[in-house]
Amino acid sequence: MGFKLLGKRSVALPPPLGYDKSSTSTSITDKPETTVMNENNIQAQVSRQVTSLAWSPAKSIFTTGLMLYMTGNSIQIFSIYSTGMALVNPLKAIFNAQNTFKKFDGQGVDTVFPKLIFIGMQIALLALALWKCNSMGLLPMTSADWINYIPIREVAQKSYR
């Protein structure tokens, strides 16, 4: 059964993609079957929500990277603030990962792999913030940064002229 357009030339259109006439039936005999289908659909929807939550930090990687790039390499209040927030927020999210996925624990969905994905994305954001700290010169990466810890060598001979 297709749809008909109004007018002189009536054309029967096929039903839209994904349309299933059996899903619109309301007979009583279909209820136990649809209940099982609904439970499977609910389980699939919860699984999609867990996966979406796990990949949610990936959506902000580009935004955070652009923000850190646009603040420049000089040490100013805005660049320090944005770098500090880029360092602190992933650390807070990593430590609160258990609480983030707590609402999905009793719903029969395995949350171990999504938690690992979530923590991995937070580590990527943390690496981005550490890159910014290095480009600002805040991380001790060169030998000149460690010169204070090199012991002064005692001279074996002294020349007095």
Q: Over the stretch 118-155, which tens digit does the pLDDT of each residue have? A: 999 999 999 999 999 999 989 888 888 888 888 888 88
Q: Over the stretch 65-98, which tens digit does the pLDDT of each residue have? A: 999 999 999 989 999 999 999 999 999 999 999 9
Q: How high is the pLDDT of residue 122?
A: 96
Concatenated DSSP letters for 85-122? HHHHHHHHHHHTHHHHTGGGGGGT---HHHHHHHHHHH
Q: What's this model's pTM, rounded to 2 decimal places?
A: 0.68
Of the pLDDT bands very low, low, confident and very high (cuts 50, 70, 90), residue 1 is low
CB atoms within 10 A of CB 128: 21
Q: Over the stretch 9-55, which tens digit does the pLDDT of each residue have? A: 666 788 888 788 777 765 555 455 555 557 778 888 988 999 999 99
Higher per-residue confidence, 114 vs 26 = 114
